Amino acid sequence: MSPALNLALFDLDNTLLAGDSDFEWAQYLISRGVLDRELHEAKNQTFYEQYKAGTLDIHEFLDFQLKPLSRHSRAELDGWHHDFMATRIRPIMTAAARALVRQHLAAGDLCAVVTATNSFVTGPIVREFGIPHLIATIPAQQDGRFTGRPRGTPSFREGKIERVEGWLESLGLCWQSFGHSYFYSDSHNDLPLLLKVSHPVAVDPDDTLRAHAEQAGWPVRSLRGETPAAT
């Protein structure tokens, strides 16, 4: 493998998206009456605040996040997700984020989204961006239905490194296969993977990540404030 190949990894929520797909999916289900507003809205907000504070118990959160998938058929879920994409996601896919992805794809870089959000929610979003690979938390399925449990290591904090390295191994690659490796993220939860790549980039970072990036001399950039790209 030529060392000229580069690797470009992207966090999704609040990085490529000007919002959080995980949070928005729960809010969407509440808005449709699929989830009880009184029971779920406060808990959804609590988990989101814990994530931002770096105190999230990923297994407790996944139990909350994945259980609703197990209560409905895949056809029903897919129909809701189609509407979710149109009403909640495309409006927060900025022109700047689409341009960044196109730049790396046009350069021939190996591109993947690496996200803690589950692959049912994020798969269509990643395909909309044109990114060929997704490393996400996997909701287990049996006979075409979700079980409500995750499969394997969640793609969260240090788990992102494990999942990325397993994916690279499956392609016959490793970190040393690349001339340059990039990771774009907004969150201090992603510091383990940011420290692993050769070119970490803080995108609209939280305060903790911004302080770390400024101290380390990492680039800090914004993908916000752009008009959403035409679809």
Domains, the chain, ranges and CATH?
Answer: 7-221 (3.40.50.1000)
> What is residue 48's predicted lDDT score, i.e. its pLDDT?
85
Residue 76 CB burial class (10 angstroms; 0-12, 13-18, ≥19): exposed
| Region class of 10: left (phi > 0), else alpha (psi between -120 and 50), else beta | beta
pLDDT reported for residue 225: 65
Q: Note if 11 is an active site residue.
A: yes
**182 within 8 A of 8, measured Cβ to Cβ:** yes
User: What is the predicted pLDDT for the residue at 4?
Assistant: 78
pLDDT at residue 229 in the model: 41
CB atoms within 10 A of CB 197: 19
CA 79, chain centre distance (Å): 21
pLDDT at 86: 98
13 in active site: yes
What are the φ/ψ torsions at residue 42 (nearest 5 degrees)? -65, -40
pLDDT in 10s for each residue of the chain, 231 residues: 444 799 999 999 999 999 999 999 999 999 999 998 888 888 888 988 998 888 888 888 888 889 889 999 999 999 999 999 999 999 999 999 999 999 999 999 999 999 999 999 999 999 999 999 999 999 999 999 999 988 999 999 999 999 999 999 999 999 999 999 999 999 999 999 999 999 999 999 999 999 999 999 999 999 996 444 433
Structural contact between residues 227 and 73, judged by C-beta atoms closer than 8 angstroms: no
pLDDT at res. 54: 84
Cα–Cα distance for residue pair 82/214, rounded to 1 Å: 39
Question: Which among 11, 109, 186, 206 is annotated as catalytic?
Answer: 11
- The pLDDT, as a whole number, for residue 207 is 96
Active-site residue, from 13, 186, 204, 206: 13
Phi, psi for 196 (deg, rounded to 5): -85, -30
